[in-house]
A and B are shown apart, each in its own frame.
Chain A
Amino acid sequence: MTLPSTDNQPAAPAHGVAAADTTSRTLMRFSARILGFAVVFVIAGELFFRFAIPAAELPISQFNAEYKFRRYDPAGPRTGRFTSGRYAQAQGVWRVNDQGWISHRDYLSAKARGKPAVAYLGSSFVEGFYSDLDTHIAARMEHRAGGKYDVYNFGMSDSVPSEHLRVAAYAAKAFEPRVLFFFCSSWHLAASLSPAPGRQRWRLEGGRVVDRPVSPLRSGRIKALAKRSAIIRYLVLNAHWRPKLAPANAGGGGTVLNAAQAGKGKARPVAELRLLAETMVRRAVAQHPGARVVVVTGGPYASDLPPQAPLVDQLLAQACRTYGAEHVDLLPAFHADWLQHHEPFQYAHDFHWNARAFDVIAQRLVAVVAAKPVVAAPVTP
């Protein structure tokens, strides 16, 4: 078999121009067809992921320039349905209150409400997108406490302890809660060192923890458009798909720095974790004189309940003893409830806390609040 030679084919065929034009037109038609398919697919996908398998809906984040933290935009969508899982198995209706937080109620100043308030700060684990408002920690606590005090949720997705402190400063000034619960997931403590726009993060400098400057959170048009797309929301929030254009944890991001994983991968040295825990607790106590500062640890965990508290939780407990904060470990409460009911505390497809966990947490926190008298903040005339 004789192979043809490219030497004989230096340029386009002799009948060139007409043939080339035809090919151009064919290519254009082909491209138009692909584009047409893409448009039809996007329309079908948008309909499918809005009605057949509804993609999660999210409120819009807003940057509070005064206190430099994130909350939700009360001028944006006020309610929506959050779904999770590939088939939208878990669904919960969220509501953004007038103050920009996920809550069944609007927050009132101490004077307006006329009774004490309890606040809790944390990440998406306490924020409560995954279940209905009446199952949230705040609603369950108020119900269990018989309405003796209001409970304000300051949970925010992706929030980490360094950011909790920022939000707590605002919450204390605006609503004067008498008890502040800081949910410190062992997943998130070390993430306080990872820079992120719109978020208070720390850095280590000469063996000390110092604040990074907070850059404003800006939501570009493309990002805003992407958030409106049901297909993209489905891929990101339901299918948890993240295109791997860069190695995992590139740029120091990621929060998989669980104490249980200390010593593995990019986990922080124990001395660093201790320093972070101490900074967190010391600052919280110093920032809120006269209020009860309670650090809450105990999950969620990537798998089953561990037999004992992970290292970060232990370090936080130790820091609480050192700096005079209260500490609540949820792990014994979870163990006890599991022994009694054998019901999971996380979703099968997602390890965020479910309504069952919220109820256990609420029960435990109500007991903590009840252990000491809660006095309403002094109301200034």
Chain B
Amino acid sequence: MPRFRRLSSAQPGRFPPVETGPRVLFNSIQFPLFLAIVFVLYWSARRAPLQAQNTIVLAASYVFYGWWDWRFLGLIAGSSLLDFFLGLQVHKQRAPTKRKALLAMSLLVNLGGLAIFKYLGFFVASTAELLTSLGLQPNLPTLHIILPVGISFYTFQTLSYTIDIYRRKIEPTRDIVGFLAFVSFFPQLVAGPIERAAALLPQFLVRRQFDVTKAKDGLRQILWGLFKKVVIADNLSGQVRAIFDGYASLDGVALTIGALFFALQIYCDFSGYSDIAIGTARLFGFNLTRNFAFPYFSRDIGEFWRRWHISLSSWFRDYVYIPLGGSRLSTASRIRNIVITFTVSGFWHGANWTFIVWGLLNGLYYIPLMLANKRPPDTVVAVGRLLPSLNELIAMMITFALTLIAWVFFRAESLTHAIQYLWRGVSHPWLGLDLSGYGPGLIACAILLALEWFQRDKQHALELSQVSVLPRWFTYISVALAIFVFGHLGATEFIYFQF
């Protein structure tokens, strides 16, 4: 059995603030330089044939990705080419069986690659554990397989392309450069948003016009994403690690703070990445899917999943839940579909039981809503009001508390760790520990949530186009200075890169 070196420094189930080497991370010094060069080249080619701009995007994306490890360029290029040609064939074929076979080939290759790179080690280890618990002594090899960064994201993106062609929702493109650029588009390549071909691919096939309003807002969104990542997420990560590692000596209050910090850490880390991705894409005239919509102001878990990692939630809805029968079946089948969808969603995050239980738990949270036939609210909370009503506040707090419990599983190293963490919090609610060390983190969380609350009907918290110039610029300068003063500037990796 071949043995591979694990390349990704992040391991599923672990959240180290990884100090990285020379990579083009969004929060590294290289990124603004890279972005400026690509921006100039890209818009310089605006009068050339469209292929030129797409070629620049493609080259930039492959440089961006190859910076991590050039060996995986072959993987992404191979996967893209395969889906490009399969897409054409699926469209051309009339015979349903042949169409189905071609689709199956796409699924097999894409999901097979994902299974090998991401899950094989987990399955081998789990099998070994199972056999050992049965008294057998398995001699299975320990696999250390390199996890290509972003494989889960771009695999889902290419899958949606072939599936949508199969469903006759879209027609395939014959523009190979445009398609390759669509799959590898560097702003969203390694951690999404997971774009559908129907939404993003057409943008590669028409001439982009420079839109100054869009570009300016893109810069604001980049600034806000960077703030969330380097100021909030990276500063909380140390305390989260300390609390989760040392949970056995802490009380329920400290452990609740730990879960709260992790909830904010992962939100700021991931939504920060998404903001930078969306903002960067806007500089090049592209619109990416909104990925987060202030999820912690949700009034029920259904609304939460409409606001959290929207591109993934909708992907699972369209390609897993609905094909399983969706909501048109019996109650038992709907429950089964919900549980399957959420569990698979958990498993997508990583090869670890903690993610599976996290997904399962969210599925269980969803069932009462489904049974009550309650549709998640479509509007933002407390529209036109400064504060929420008491009912809204209670609903938001209950939803947030439920997500906190689930986040403990997501963050824990193992199921035992998660259960002991939760049990410790219940069995030792208050030991009179000195909690003053958590003060700055709590203040940072409160400030962040307050800012987002006031901007909850906007796309992001720095969308201040209605504000006059002076306070607006004062805000931008303050946020930029805060990044310098409070930010972790060592280019720590984004959590979602490991997925």
Inter-chain contact A5/B205, CB cutoff 8 Å: yes
**Interface residue? B428 (CB, 8 A):** no
**Interface residue? B439 (CB, 8 A):** no
Inter-chain contact A10/B49, CB cutoff 8 Å: yes
Inter-chain contact B170/A44, CB cutoff 8 Å: no
**Interface residue? B287 (CB, 8 A):** no
Q: Which residues of B contact A27 (CB under 8 A)?
A: 43, 210
Contact of B484 among A6, A12, A33, A235 (CB under 8 A): A235
Q: Which residues of B contact A45 (CB under 8 A)?
A: 480-481, 484
Assembly CA distance A37 to B216 (angstroms): 11
Assembly CA distance A111 to B54 (angstroms): 78
Given A5-B175, A40-B477, answer yes or no on A13-B46 (Cβ-Cβ < 8 Å): no
Q: Which residues of A contact B414 (CB under 8 A)?
A: none
Chain A: CB-nearest residue to B478 = A44
| Segment of A130-138, A141-149, A236-244 engaged in the interface with chain B | A236-244
Assembly CA distance A4 to B202 (angstroms): 7
Contact with B along A228-254 (1 / 0, CB 8 A): 000100110001010111111000000
Given A29-B212, A244-B28, answer yes or no on A40-B473 (Cβ-Cβ < 8 Å): yes
Chain B: CB-nearest residue to A239 = B489
Question: Contact size class for A?
Answer: 35 or more
Assembly CA distance A374 to B171 (angstroms): 93
Inter-chain contact A1/B490, CB cutoff 8 Å: no
**Interface residue? B48 (CB, 8 A):** yes
**Interface residue? A340 (CB, 8 A):** no
CB B470 to nearest CB in A, in angstroms, measures 11
Contact of A12 among B47, B169, B201, B206 (CB under 8 A): B47
Contact of A48 among B46, B173, B481 (CB under 8 A): B481
**Interface residue? B9 (CB, 8 A):** no
Given A10-B49, A235-B489, answer yes or no on A244-B206 (Cβ-Cβ < 8 Å): no
Contact of A11 among B43, B49, B178, B486 (CB under 8 A): B49
**Interface residue? A20 (CB, 8 A):** yes
**Interface residue? A366 (CB, 8 A):** no
Given A26-B210, A40-B473, answer yes or no on A244-B490 (Cβ-Cβ < 8 Å): yes
Contact with A along B467-499 (1 / 0, CB 8 A): 000000100110011001110011100000000
Q: Which residues of B contact A48 (CB under 8 A)?
A: 481
**Interface residue? B50 (CB, 8 A):** yes
Q: Which residues of A contact B170 (CB under 8 A)?
A: 1, 3
Assembly CA distance A97 to B265 (angstroms): 49
**Interface residue? B327 (CB, 8 A):** no
**Interface residue? A23 (CB, 8 A):** yes
Inter-chain contact A37/B476, CB cutoff 8 Å: yes
Q: Which residues of A contact B46 (CB under 8 A)?
A: 12, 20, 23
Inter-chain contact A244/B171, CB cutoff 8 Å: no
Contact with A along B101-140 (1 / 0, CB 8 A): 0000000000000000000000000000000000000000
Number of A-B contacts (CB under 8 A): 102
Assembly CA distance A29 to B178 (angstroms): 29
Assembly CA distance A87 to B484 (angstroms): 11
**Interface residue? A30 (CB, 8 A):** yes
Inter-chain contact B481/A239, CB cutoff 8 Å: no
Inter-chain contact A6/B29, CB cutoff 8 Å: no
Inter-chain contact A3/B171, CB cutoff 8 Å: yes
CB A252 to nearest CB in B, in angstroms, measures 17
Chain A: CB-nearest residue to B179 = A3
CB B241 to nearest CB in A, in angstroms, measures 17
B214-248 at interface with A (beta carbon < 8 Å): 215-216, 219
B1-58 at interface with A (beta carbon < 8 Å): 20-22, 28-30, 43, 46-51, 54
Assembly CA distance A48 to B479 (angstroms): 13
Assembly CA distance A221 to B201 (angstroms): 48
Given A9-B207, A11-B49, A20-B47, answer yes or no on A3-B490 (Cβ-Cβ < 8 Å): no
Contact of B207 among A2, A7, A13 (CB under 8 A): A13
Chain B: CB-nearest residue to A241 = B489
Assembly CA distance A234 to B48 (angstroms): 44
Q: Which residues of B contact A1 (CB under 8 A)?
A: 169-171, 198
**Interface residue? B330 (CB, 8 A):** no
**Interface residue? A53 (CB, 8 A):** yes
Inter-chain contact B484/A231, CB cutoff 8 Å: yes
Inter-chain contact A244/B481, CB cutoff 8 Å: no
Inter-chain contact B485/A244, CB cutoff 8 Å: no
Inter-chain contact A4/B22, CB cutoff 8 Å: no
Chain A: CB-nearest residue to B219 = A34
Q: Which residues of A contact B473 (CB under 8 A)?
A: 37, 40
A6-49 at interface with B (beta carbon < 8 Å): 6-7, 9-13, 16, 20, 23, 26-27, 29-30, 33-34, 37, 40-41, 44-45, 48
**Interface residue? B209 (CB, 8 A):** yes
Assembly CA distance A247 to B174 (angstroms): 41
Chain B: CB-nearest residue to A250 = B22
Q: Which residues of B contact A246 (CB under 8 A)?
A: 22
Q: Which residues of A contact B207 (CB under 8 A)?
A: 9, 12-13
Inter-chain contact A53/B485, CB cutoff 8 Å: yes
Q: Which residues of B contact A247 (CB under 8 A)?
A: 21-22
Residue from the set A3, A5, A27, A44 with the largest chain B CB neighbour count within 10 Å: A3
Inter-chain contact A23/B210, CB cutoff 8 Å: yes
Assembly CA distance A147 to B202 (angstroms): 83
Inter-chain contact B171/A6, CB cutoff 8 Å: no
Inter-chain contact B29/A5, CB cutoff 8 Å: no
Assembly CA distance A10 to B53 (angstroms): 11
**Interface residue? A50 (CB, 8 A):** no
**Interface residue? A166 (CB, 8 A):** no
**Interface residue? A203 (CB, 8 A):** no
Inter-chain contact B205/A6, CB cutoff 8 Å: yes
Given A86-B486, A241-B490, A244-B22, answer yes or no on A5-B174 (Cβ-Cβ < 8 Å): yes
A46-82 at interface with B (beta carbon < 8 Å): 48, 53
Q: Which residues of B contact A33 (CB under 8 A)?
A: 216
Residues of A within 8 A of B (CB): 1-7, 9-13, 16, 20, 23, 26-27, 29-30, 33-34, 37, 40-41, 44-45, 48, 53, 86-87, 231, 234-235, 239, 241, 243-248
A-B contact pairs, 18 of them (CB 8 A): A1-B169, A3-B202, A4-B206, A7-B174, A7-B175, A10-B49, A11-B47, A11-B48, A23-B209, A26-B212, A40-B477, A45-B480, A53-B485, A86-B486, A239-B484, A243-B28, A244-B21, A245-B22
Given contacts A3-B170, A239-B485, 17 further A-B contacts (CB under 8 A): A6-B205, A10-B50, A44-B477, A45-B484, A86-B485, A86-B486, A87-B485, A235-B484, A235-B489, A241-B489, A241-B490, A243-B28, A243-B30, A244-B28, A244-B490, A245-B22, A247-B21
Closest 10 CB pairs of A and B: A243-B29, A241-B489, A12-B47, A1-B170, A4-B205, A6-B175, A10-B49, A6-B50, A9-B50, A44-B477
